[in-house]
Chain A
Amino acid sequence: MSLLVLDRLSAGIPGKPILKGINLRVNAGEVHAIMGPNGSGKSTLAQVLAGRPEYEITGGTARYDGKDLLAMSPEERAREGVFLAFQYPVELPGVNGPYFLKAALNAIRKHRGLEPLDAMDFLGFIQEKMKVLELDASLLNRSVNEGFSGGEKKRNEIFQMAVLEPKLAILDETDSGLDIDALKVVAAGVNQLRSPDQAQLVITHYQRLLNYLVPDYVHVLFDGRLVKSGGPELALELEERGYDWITKPAAVSPELVTA
């Protein structure tokens, strides 16, 4: 069974359609990259799947793990295993990092019928995960994301993902703002999480990240629609030729294609 099935999913903010009928099928164990020029709707897709209340669903369906994703609240989606690594992680002044993460992990565990982890077990658990991401322990003693550099914030997102072990991980431009070394560390962390039970939706503007996170499928999102799909070679082609050859109106016009 597919983990995520989007059927003509349309969404936007009031008065402005952004996603105009997305069809996508993601199976467990797969990595899908969503690429596209700025303003094509990539981040909107990520936010809509996570349930951000500002977006309005105007049509279509989204099924996740056999359930109606759109009927679930954002926290239910998270507890069911949907994780969004934010493009711009939010600062939570005064909210202690481990405390936050423990609350999140235990909310998810409770939903799955597991006992909550106590402080000692939790600490042991996260120390393991921190090593993988070469995360500085001092980050943990600070408020969530407060005063973190751009790179630290992104790394912290992937660290949270490692701790929460989602079934569907959506990475929204996780590569932006990372230097090449940080990018390698983050990618290594993400790759470690790959498993036959887990799927990843990697949203990126550049091909660079995909050298390290090799996708099974690459899709091009343009003007709210997935206009082209292919294997990893498509990303390389985009790197070389840019988006114009796909996004120019002529290229997507069916009349011209059939002509």
Chain B
Amino acid sequence: MSAATDIIEQFVTTEYQYGFVTDVEVDTVPAGLNEGVIRLLSSKKNEPEFMLEWRLRAYRHWLTMKEPQWANIHHLPIDYQAISYYSAPKSQSSQPKSLAEVEPELLKTYQKLGIPLREQERLAGVAVDAVFDSVSVATTFRAQLAKLGILFCSFSEAVREHPELVRKHLGSVVPYRDNFFAALNAAVFSDGSFCYIPAGVRCPMELSTYFRINAANTGQFERTLIVAEPGSYVSYLEGCTAPMRDTNQLHAAVVELVALDNAEIKYSTVQNWYPGDKEGRGGIYNFVTKRGLAKGVNSKISWTQVETGSAITWKYPSVILQGDNSTGEFYSVAVTNNYQQADTGAKMIHLGKNTRSTIVSKGISAGHGQNSYRGLVKILKSAGGARNFSRCDSLLLGNQCGAHTFPYLEVKNPTAQVEHEACTSKIGEDQIFYFNQRGISTQDAVNMIVNGYCKDVFRHLPMEFAVEAQKLLGVSLEGSVG
């Protein structure tokens, strides 16, 4: 084996930086799932009757469903009765009204993760909803946002305080019947974020949710709902981490976005759940349903994601382009290193006239990682003049990893234009040598090549996130090339 391959091997071996555990007293529901657990969960959250009924309908439907088997991933069967469906720090049961009332240990956790909630309050620019296991710990900047009529709070709070809005939109984009994991989420989701941007308002700061799994043997099932009324704009960021544990943990989230006439939602994710160790032990199973409904004319929904974590990623952010002239975008970098597996891509469903969609997917495989792009572009008869452009690239670092592409195209309107480009590349030893001959180390060379490869995606991330994402990529691929 050549020296270059050795360095590629080394390049992927940096330790996960967010693997610590926070020691707090928790209120955890015993493992197992039945109607009693769902009722208990709903009552802990003081939910209105309609929520409980919806959860129970979802649960009963879930019982009739089977876990999907079509994805290009392999794992031991998940025992849904061995998971605890609710875990929350005890101190949160009194529902603190302000950051001053939040348990210091929790604030310290976010500080360690680089999300200082207290300071964040003073720093203009990003409002944060911090979700710890099953509950939201704190949401910053709420008062300022409220002046503009923007609602940004935890999902539980939205259910209690804005039931009419939740009732109107919940499940309107991802119905509980949609798929196995969406049904499970609907039955047991614990918390998440809710944003509502009133008509004509341009949200002046980035809204973000930071998800943290802490407890062992629990699942995290959060649900996010963003509604952008006509003529409004919001940019939303999502970050995630979890402790290092030997066992796999399930994360099954649902995100629903609704954009009305001339509204725009930009949704960015930096997903860094614990990916498991070098031998493939532990890590998060990430089964997520993310979908946006571009409902109004000229509406726009864009997904940007950088996925470096999780043992398994199963996720296909989608846009339903219902409004005429609406736009859907998907920009993704997905990294699989060690024994990580990703089956991810996008779906663009064109219903309205002159709708436009773009998919740019950049997969990076290293170690024994398996990276699959799976995407669907569907142009219905009603979508005259629809256009799609897809580009799916794969970059292989080393020779034990894999890249796979499964594009699906369904075009029912002859006036549609669909383009698909794909390319697979390897970092060549001659490229590495060229860098070395100019004095640049192999590690830096790989970072430069990988960042160059990802730049079409990174430029769609908000500035601070883009810097964060570049660093994250460097860390998750460290030691993987040579």
Question: Which residues on A are within 8 Å of B, measured CB to CB?
Answer: 50-54, 73-75, 77-79, 83-84, 86, 89-90, 92-96, 99-101, 103-104, 107-108, 111, 143, 160, 164
Please list 14 pairs of residues, one from A and one from B, whose beta carbons are closer than 8 Å in the complex, sorted by A's number: A52-B433, A53-B429, A75-B437, A75-B440, A77-B437, A83-B437, A93-B453, A94-B452, A95-B448, A100-B435, A101-B438, A103-B448, A107-B438, A111-B439
Task: Check if B420 is an interface residue, CB within 8 A of chain A.
Answer: no
Establish whether residues B437 and A53, one from each chain, have CB atoms under 8 Å apart when the complex forms: no
Establish whether residues B4 and A143, one from each chain, have CB atoms under 8 Å apart when the complex forms: no
Given contacts A53-B4, A53-B433, A74-B433, contact A94 B444 (CB under 8 A): no
Which of chain B's residues has its CB closest to A163's CB?
Answer: B438
A95–B452 Cα gap in the complex (Å)?
5
Task: Check if B93 is an interface residue, CB within 8 A of chain A.
Answer: no
A119 CB to nearest chain B CB (Å): 16
Which of chain B's residues has its CB closest to A93's CB?
Answer: B452
A178–B74 Cα gap in the complex (Å)?
54
Establish whether residues B436 and A90, one from each chain, have CB atoms under 8 Å apart when the complex forms: no
A53–B437 Cα gap in the complex (Å)?
11
A94–B429 Cα gap in the complex (Å)?
17
Establish whether residues B437 and A50, one from each chain, have CB atoms under 8 Å apart when the complex forms: yes
CB neighbors of A among B368-399 (8 A): none
Query: Which residues of chain A are within 8 angstroms of B463 by Cβ–Cβ distance?
Result: none
Task: Check if B430 is an interface residue, CB within 8 A of chain A.
Answer: yes
CB neighbors of A among B409-451 (8 A): 425, 428-431, 433-442, 444, 448-449, 451
Task: Check if B123 is an interface residue, CB within 8 A of chain A.
Answer: no
Tell me which of B431, B440, B452 contacts A107 (CB under 8 A). B440
Given contacts A53-B3, A53-B429, A100-B448, 15 further A-B contacts (CB under 8 A): A52-B433, A74-B436, A74-B437, A75-B439, A78-B438, A84-B437, A86-B434, A86-B437, A94-B453, A96-B452, A104-B438, A107-B439, A108-B439, A143-B452, A164-B439
Task: Check if B2 is an interface residue, CB within 8 A of chain A.
Answer: yes
Query: Which residues of chain B are within 8 angstroms of A84 by Cβ–Cβ distance?
Result: 437
Question: Which residues on B are within 8 Å of A, measured CB to CB?
Answer: 2-4, 425, 428-431, 433-442, 444, 448-449, 451-453, 455
Given contacts A53-B3, A54-B2, A75-B441, contact A92 B452 (CB under 8 A): yes
A53–B435 Cα gap in the complex (Å)?
13
A108–B433 Cα gap in the complex (Å)?
16
A96–B433 Cα gap in the complex (Å)?
17
Establish whether residues A92 and B449, one from each chain, have CB atoms under 8 Å apart when the complex forms: yes
Query: Which residues of chain B are within 8 angstroms of A78 by Cβ–Cβ distance?
Result: 436-439
Tell me which of A53, A77, A94, A103 contacts B440 (CB under 8 A). A103
Which of chain B's residues has its CB closest to A54's CB?
Answer: B2
Given contacts A54-B2, A90-B430, A90-B431, contact A75 B452 (CB under 8 A): no
Query: Which residues of chain B are within 8 angstroms of A52 by Cβ–Cβ distance?
Result: 433
Query: Which residues of chain B are within 8 angstroms of A53 by Cβ–Cβ distance?
Result: 2-4, 429, 433
Query: Which residues of chain A are within 8 angstroms of B440 by Cβ–Cβ distance?
Result: 75, 100, 103-104, 107
A101–B440 Cα gap in the complex (Å)?
10
Query: Which residues of chain B are within 8 angstroms of A89 by Cβ–Cβ distance?
Result: 434
A104–B440 Cα gap in the complex (Å)?
6
Across chains A and B, which 9 residue pairs bring their CB atoms closest together, nearest first? A94-B452, A104-B438, A74-B436, A78-B439, A107-B439, A53-B3, A90-B434, A95-B452, A75-B436
A74–B4 Cα gap in the complex (Å)?
12
Query: Which residues of chain A are within 8 angstroms of B434 by Cβ–Cβ distance?
Result: 86, 89-90, 92
A197–B435 Cα gap in the complex (Å)?
25
Query: Which residues of chain A are within 8 angstroms of B433 by Cβ–Cβ distance?
Result: 50, 52-53, 74, 90
A47 CB to nearest chain B CB (Å): 9
Query: Which residues of chain B are within 8 angstroms of A104 by Cβ–Cβ distance?
Result: 438-440
A77–B439 Cα gap in the complex (Å)?
8
Given contacts A74-B433, A90-B428, A95-B448, contact A160 B438 (CB under 8 A): yes
A107–B437 Cα gap in the complex (Å)?
11
Query: Which residues of chain A are within 8 angstroms of B435 by Cβ–Cβ distance?
Result: 75, 92, 100
Which of chain A's residues has its CB closest to B438's CB?
Answer: A104
Which of chain A's residues has its CB closest to B5's CB?
Answer: A53
Which of chain B's residues has its CB closest to A81's CB?
Answer: B439
B441 CB to nearest chain A CB (Å): 6
